[in-house]
Structure 1
Amino acid sequence: MPDHRFVPSVMQLRVFITVAERLHFRSAAEELGMSQPSLSQALATLEEGLGLRLVERSTRSVLVTPAGRRLLPFARAAVTAVDAVSDVAAGSGGLLSGTLRIGVIPTAAPYLLPGLLPALAERFPDLKPRIVEDQTARLVEGLRSGVIDLAIMAVPTDASGVVSIPLYQEKFALLVPAGHDLAGAVSISPEVLADQPLLLLDEGHCLREQTVDLCRRVSVPVLGREESRAASLTTAVQCVAGGLGVSIVPQSAVGPESRDPGIGVATFAEPAPGRTMGLFLRTASADDEAYAELGRVVTKVAQEVFDAQPV
């Protein structure tokens, strides 16, 4: 039976949210900077007070119960509201000061963030960015639910309830093993992919969908092949270096400082295929000029670091 006098604490809700996102008690405790026994006790107290089992835990897995899934959006909203109160009380009166939770897709984060974070610190010294790296669908859901404030992702997306500000365009390149016939080639046609073992990222990565779409446009069959696939762009690059195939990547991923010596690069003929990156916001925030200013900083970094073209 629930205790109707019980009022969950912010920490208890934060523990529940983190466990639900991580599905792992130890990593959740590490993220929150608390001991695992303290985390378990906080969750148990929350469940007891609510009279609900929120999480199922076994020796092998952690699952969120149906009741937990129903409660999770409200827990997130409550924590977000309390954090906002704290930020305002601490003098965070504007968007570009205080904590700002920024989502970034995995195929952009490793190449954009090393330049972006110092640029944000210089341009907005009162801003405290918090980075969430995740796939598009989960970033969109996080944006809708208030878990993140904005996201840097490829456009377009079919998501409802969010809008995007186009920022910059970057071309695609083809990574091949060093010594491959296409290594160093320029102005290649996407049709050459028909004869290559093409490595794709896992489902959920927008770069996978963009690669599949490119192949379809030139009538190159891609799905149903039995080549290797990777969960991250870093793994795909390692597979290419190991001679397991070729892979389409954004131009930002082929800079000299990040290139594996076992990798060769081929460039596409103009108009080269590529992607447009945008700043995604909840619909209600679309007209905020502060977001546009932040977008200009992101675009400038992309121009300077990997020669992206502003939209």
Structure 2
Amino acid sequence: MVNQRFVPSVTQLRVFLAVAERLHFRSAAEELGMSQPSLSQALATLEEGLRVHLVERSTRTVLVTPVGHQLLPFARAAVGAMDAVADIAAGSGGPMSGDVRIGVIPTAAPYLLPGLLPALSDRFPDLRPRIVEDQTARLLEQLRSGALDVAIMALPTDAAGAAGMPLYAEPFALLVPAGHPLDGRDDLSLEALVELPLLMLDEGHCLRDQTVDLCRRVSAPILGRGGSRAASLTTAVRCVAGGLGVMIVPESAVVSESRDPGLGVARFREPAPGRTMGLVLRTATADDDAYTELGSVITGVAQRLFGAVPA
């Protein structure tokens, strides 16, 4: 039976959420900026106060217990509510002041951040952005747990407790090795993917999922014929330049990588496939006008850097 006199702290709940997400104590501690002993002590105090075991620990694995899984959605809701209270209480400075934790997917961060960070400094001089680059699913978990304030990712997302604000759209193109027969084409059809050695990112990247969807539309081999895959888009681009295959990439990557003499570009005929990028927030803070202004800054940077179209 739960001790009715025990009330978990927000820090303890954040620790539980981080451990449940990462299933690794050191990674959870790094995410929260804590030492591992402090994190372990906070979780132990929470379990002692609740009189339940939330996770099972061994020398190699960490597992969430059944009761831990039952409590996860309530812990997320409690942390989200407390963050909303803090956001409203800090109204004098507004949400665009102090530390703001911004998540960005890996297929956007290298191309958007070089222009975005200076623009944020100009528009919000009191803002101290804290950038977290990670895959979509993990960004959403961190957003719901309160470890992030906002996230920049591809839409749509159907995550509970999160709301997406469309920012900009960008088309996809096909990166090919320089001198490839398709280099310079601007009338590419999706059917061309059927015979190409298509490179893929690892599981978990939304760009991989979008590429798989395009392949399925024309019955192209899902894994392509390249035999290579990469954990990051920048590594995959280097593989293309080295002649290991071709790859579907967003326009932002094309603009950034176009100076590489080892790369060529083929563009799809209209209407070209593409993606819509958005700003994702917890639903409790989604109506704040400051985030709308933040979204406008991001959209403006994307327009300037790689000709994105406002969504």
Deviation at 1:288, TM superposition (A): 4.1
- Distance of 1:95 and 1:75 partners within structure 2: 23
Deviation at 1:128, TM superposition (A): 3.8
Deviation at 1:198, TM superposition (A): 0.9
Q: Does 1:263 align with 2:263?
A: yes
TM-score for both structures, normalised by structure 2: 0.82
Change in 2 beyond 3 A, CA 1:8/1:27: same
Q: Which residue of 2 aligns with 1:301?
A: 301
- Distance of 2:208 and 2:175 partners within structure 1: 15
Q: C-alpha deviations, 1:141-164, integer Å up to 9, x for none?
A: 555665544433323445566554
Instruction: Specify the code of the residue in structure 2 equivalent to 1:238.
Output: R
- Distance of 2:87 and 2:161 partners within structure 1: 25
**Other structure's SS at 2:265 match:** strand
Q: Is the 8 A contact 2:97 2:126 kept in 1?
A: yes
Q: C-alpha deviations, 1:112-144, integer Å up to 9, x for none?
A: 122212212221223343444343444455556
Instruction: Specify the code of the residue in structure 2 equivalent to 1:28.
Output: A
Q: Does 1:56 align with 2:56?
A: yes
Deviation at 1:258, TM superposition (A): 7.9
Written as runs of structure 1 = structure 2, the 5 A alignment for 1:95-134 is 95-134=95-134
Kindly, what percent of the aligned residue pairs are identical? Answer: 75
Q: Is the 8 A contact 1:172 1:249 kept in 2?
A: yes
Deviation at 1:266, TM superposition (A): 2.4
Q: Is the 8 A contact 2:175 2:248 kept in 1?
A: yes
- Distance of 2:148 and 2:34 partners within structure 1: 23
Q: C-alpha deviations, 1:206-245, integer Å up to 9, x for none?
A: 322332333344x242326563333432332233234322
Q: Which residue of 1 aligns with 2:25?
A: 25
The runs of at least 4 consecutive aligned structure 1 residues that moved more than 6 Å come to none
Q: Which residue of 1 aligns with 2:167?
A: 167
- Distance of 1:58 and 1:305 partners within structure 2: 48
Change in 2 beyond 3 A, CA 1:166/1:33: closer
**Other structure's SS at 1:172 match:** strand
Moved more, 111-120 or 184-193: 184-193
- Distance of 1:160 and 1:179 partners within structure 2: 46
**Other structure's SS at 1:59 match:** coil
**Other structure's SS at 1:244 match:** coil
- Distance of 2:219 and 2:55 partners within structure 1: 46
Q: Is the 8 A contact 1:176 1:246 kept in 2?
A: yes
Q: Does 1:9 align with 2:19?
A: no
Q: Is the 8 A contact 1:87 1:99 kept in 2?
A: no
Q: Is the 8 A contact 1:87 1:98 kept in 2?
A: no
Instruction: Specify the code of the residue in structure 2 equivalent to 1:295.
Output: G
Moved more, 87-96 or 15-24: 87-96
Q: Is the 8 A contact 1:183 1:265 kept in 2?
A: yes
Instruction: Specify the code of the residue in structure 2 equivalent to 1:223.
Output: I
Q: Does 1:274 align with 2:274?
A: yes
Q: Is the 8 A contact 1:92 1:98 kept in 2?
A: no
Q: Which residue of 2 aligns with 1:223?
A: 222
Change in 2 beyond 3 A, CA 1:69/1:87: same
- Distance of 1:48 and 1:102 partners within structure 2: 33
Deviation at 1:75, TM superposition (A): 3.0
Deviation at 1:299, TM superposition (A): 0.8
Change in 2 beyond 3 A, CA 1:129/1:71: farther
Q: Does 1:208 align with 2:208?
A: yes
Count of matched residue positions in the alignment of Structure 1 and Structure 2? 310
Structure 2, unpaired ranges of 5+? none
Q: Is the 8 A contact 1:2 1:48 kept in 2?
A: no
- Distance of 1:246 and 1:80 partners within structure 2: 42
Q: Is the 8 A contact 2:79 2:145 kept in 1?
A: no
Q: Which residue of 1 aligns with 2:67?
A: 67
Q: C-alpha deviations, 1:42-62, integer Å up to 9, x for none?
A: 322222222111222222222
**Other structure's SS at 1:255 match:** helix
Change in 2 beyond 3 A, CA 1:290/1:41: closer
